[in-house]
Structure formats: C-alpha cells, structure tokens
Chain A
Amino acid sequence: MIVAQRKKIPEIFDSIQDHKSVLVLGCGTCVTVCLAGGEREVSIISSALRIASRKAGKKIKVNEFTIERQCDNVFIEGATEEIKKNDAVLSLGCGAGVQAIAERYPETPVYAGLDTAFLGILESRGVWAEKCMQCGECVLSDFGGICPVTRCAKHMLNGPCGGSREDRCEIRADQPCAWQLIYKRLKNIDQVDKISKEHPIKDWSKSINGGSRTIIREDHRI
C-alpha cells in the first residue's frame, strides 16, 4: 500500500487561503488504510481548516467528499459534481491521486494535503514500514523475500557491509540490518548458499532514476 501522512494545518491552510470554497477530497484506498486521507481524516482536516479560516478572519467554505479511488478516472467521475461546486480541491490522496485529479480537471486548482512517503506495509497498529522502492527489477527471489535495495541503507546487492552491530544497521539503532535478516531467512528456508551468489551492478535506469515510467500493455489497449 502507498503510505502517506498529513501535512501540517498551517501549510495546508496557506495553500488554500485565497479560495472562497474548497473541497477536501478523500481517497478510499491506500490512504484510508494508512489513516491519512480517508473519510475520517477528511472530516478532521476540514474541521481544522474551518477553525483556521475563522481564526484568520476569512470565510472559506470547506466541503467534504470522499471517493473510492483518486487514481482511477472511473471513480474520479463520481466527484465531478462536488468538484464543480467548489473553487479548488484539497486532495487527501497520494501523489498519484492529486495528479490524477489535476489532469482530469484542468480548470480547477488542486492542492496536496498529504506528504506521500513510501510503499510499505502495516507492521503493527500505528506502525508503517517501507518495504519496496519500486526499483523496476525485483530481486526478492534471490534474497528470501527480503529486499536489500529498500531495507539496506546502502542498497547493497552484495552485502553485508560489515558495519552492523548486534544485527542493527549502523545508520540507526532502531533499523535492523537487512543483510542479517536475509541471512537468517535464507538459513530458515535452507537456501543459505544463495547469499554467496554475486550480483552484477544494478541497472538503475529501470528505477525512477531513469525518468518517470510508463507501462504499456498492448494486449489490454483498446
């Protein structure tokens, strides 16, 4: 899931303060699950913005609406009526959601209410952790399902680096050494010999470093 977190209210208010009415648009998919931009967060942030607006002596009308998915045109259409009623949209979707709304409504200013952080999982209640950095060439099969590209601070494919202390990464004591995890995991699944396999230099052009990516599936195109 895409994990995001709320921007500070003054920053959000600063971006919307010149409009008379703003639609706070939530997204019912990833950001709902990571408790950043779902219906409840729409309600809380709208309330905070109404308070901030009145405190600043302005009369900004803040409306609320949530759609199932902001990154999909089929769902975005469901918000057309609400978007047209307002001067601007404050999207509580991830970066993709904000851009999808902006592309779909070229005349309407769209602002981001969240900072999109990473692609991760819910580790325990209230704790989200990054697991994938979308490098474009998955190496998980070689590492027992633990990603050294994302979880090793040095993105090492031929680790470990030797800097870890008591299975903790040298950059931070709360960060486990990915290579330690990989070793334990490979040992558990009886594939420890894989750790000595040499990996060639990674082709980073397949990652975001090669520019924004597009996937075209001819078999699905109309």
Chain B
Amino acid sequence: MNDKAFEPKIIAFCCHYCAYASADLAGSMRLQYPSGVRIIRTPCTGRLEVEYYMRAFENGADGVLVAGCLEGGCHFIEGNLFAKKRVNAIRDILQESGIEKERLRMVNISAAMATTLATVINEMVNTIKELGPNPIRKTNNGTDVEFWESIPPGKEFEILNSQQ
C-alpha cells in the first residue's frame, strides 16, 4: 500500500445521546472531517462489549474511536465511566498483541460539541497516519482485509459479534 495515499479507516462508536448527535450537528454545520470514519450508533458507550474493539482490529480497522458523553453527563448515569475503564484495559491487551494502543481511543463529547468531534477525528486520523495501516492488514499475505465496505448498513454489530 502506498503510505502517501493512506487514508485511515476508523470505526467510531458514538453514543446516541451525545457524540452521534454531535456528528449529526457537524453535518448540519458542514464541518469537514476525513471520510474514512465509519460512525456506528450505540445506545451508550457502556453498552459496548470489549470484544467489539478487538473484532474491529481483527477485521482490519486502522483505528477505533469510542465517543461517549461528557463525564457526569451520561444518560445512563455512569455508562461512559465504565467504557473508559474498559477501553483502557483493551488498550493494554492490544499493545500486548502487537497493535499500538494509540489506535484505540475514548473521547467525551456532548451533543453540542460538533467542532470538537471534527477536531478529535482529525487528530485521530493524523495519529493513525503516523502509525501507518493496521499492522495485521499489512502482513495478511498482501490481501487487504476490507472491513466495512462489505458490511450492509445496520449489520455492523452482527459482523463484530461473529467469530473469525
């Protein structure tokens, strides 16, 4: 893969009550952020099974962004705080497995913070551009594992749940 043309593919798990709404607002505000970000709406970041992060990387995602409500502002009181701890635990496992932990990141964004969301996504894209493509994509005998292009809309959770 030509690294100059490398456009990171990022899965962004966005909480319905905040980050997803801010992504919506970003759209209304015509804010620009890289198109390689696939947003998946979740009821709460605390709802996310940690396996989803692992599966996303296993399936070739270059980065995973978990966007929850501001601390103290979770619709379900403390789902985002649980998610933060889980993300940190999985970052360690990823590092041990050979995937840089910077590829998985959790941010807290409110529904009104569309500009912040765009900034965070840009930051994430820049971080991952520096890291390069997901290392297991590169070493998968030359075959590029295309993740979401093959996923029918609305089937993301099914794919992430399925065993390889």
Q: Do A and B assemble together? A: yes
Chain B residues contacting A52 (CB-CB under 8 Å) are 96-98
- Cβ proximity bits A34-51 to B, threshold 8 Å, 1 near / 0 not: 000000100110111111
Cβ–Cβ contact B98 & A55, under 8 A: yes
**B140 interface contact, C-beta 8 A:** yes
Question: Could you tell me which residues of chain B, from 91 to 111, have a CB within 8 Å of some CB in chain A?
Answer: 93-94, 96-99
Contact with B along A50-63 (1 / 0, CB 8 A): 11101111000010
A48-B96 Cα distance, complex, nearest whole Å: 8
B164 touches A43 (CB 8 A): no
Could you tell me the dominant secondary structure of chain B's interface residues?
A: helix
Establish whether residues A48 and B163, one from each chain, have CB atoms under 8 Å apart when the complex forms.
Answer: no
| B54 interface residue per 8 A CB criterion | yes
Contact B51 A44, beta carbon cutoff 8 Å: yes
- Residue from A9, A43, A57, A64 within 8 A of B97 (CB atoms): A9
Contact of B136 with A44 in the complex, beta carbons under 8 Å: no
Interface residues of B in 124-164 (CB under 8 A from A): 135-136, 139-140, 163-164
Contact (A40, B98) CB under 8 Å given A9-B93, A51-B57, A54-B136: no
Complex Cα–Cα for A40 and B50 (A): 9
Q: Who on chain B is nearest to A63 by CB?
A: B163
A212 to B10, CA, bound (A): 53
A55 near B51: Cβ-Cβ < 8 Å: no
Q: Report Cα–Cα, A47/B93, bound state, in Å.
A: 10
Whether B139 and A50, one on each chain, are in contact in the complex, defined by CB atoms closer than 8 angstroms, is: no
Query: Which one of A55, A57, A64 has the highest number of Cβ atoms from chain B below 10 Å of its Cβ?
Result: A55
CA distance A40 to B54 in the complex (A): 12
B58 within 8 Å of A (CB atoms): yes
**Judging by beta carbons under 8 Å apart, are A48 and B140 in contact?**
no
Chain B residue with the shortest CB-CB distance to A45: B93
- Establish whether residues B51 and A51, one from each chain, have CB atoms under 8 Å apart when the complex forms: no
Contact A40 B139 (CB under 8 A): no
Q: Does A10 lie at the interface of the complex (its beta carbon under 8 Å from any beta carbon of B)?
A: yes
Query: In the complex the two chains form, is A48's CB within 8 Å of B54's CB?
Result: yes
Asked if A57 meets B93 with Cβ closer than 8 Å, knowing A40-B51, A44-B50, the reply is: no
Chain A contacts for B90, CB-based, 8 A: 44
Given the known A-B contacts A54-B139, A64-B163, are A47 and B55 also in contact in the complex, defined by CB atoms under 8 Å? Answer: yes
Interface residues of A (CB under 8 A from B): 8-10, 40, 43-44, 46-52, 54-57, 62, 64
15 A-B interface contacts by CB (under 8 A): A10-B96, A44-B90, A46-B163, A47-B51, A47-B55, A47-B58, A48-B93, A51-B97, A51-B98, A52-B96, A54-B139, A55-B135, A55-B139, A57-B139, A62-B164
Seed contacts A44-B54, A47-B54, A51-B99; 7 additional CB < 8 Å A-B pairs: A10-B96, A47-B51, A48-B93, A48-B96, A51-B94, A51-B97, A55-B99
Chain B interfacial positions (CB closer than 8 Å to A): 49-51, 54-55, 57-58, 90, 93-94, 96-99, 135-136, 139-140, 163-164
- By Cβ-Cβ distance, the 4 closest A-B pairs, closest first, are A47-B54, A9-B96, A55-B98, A54-B136
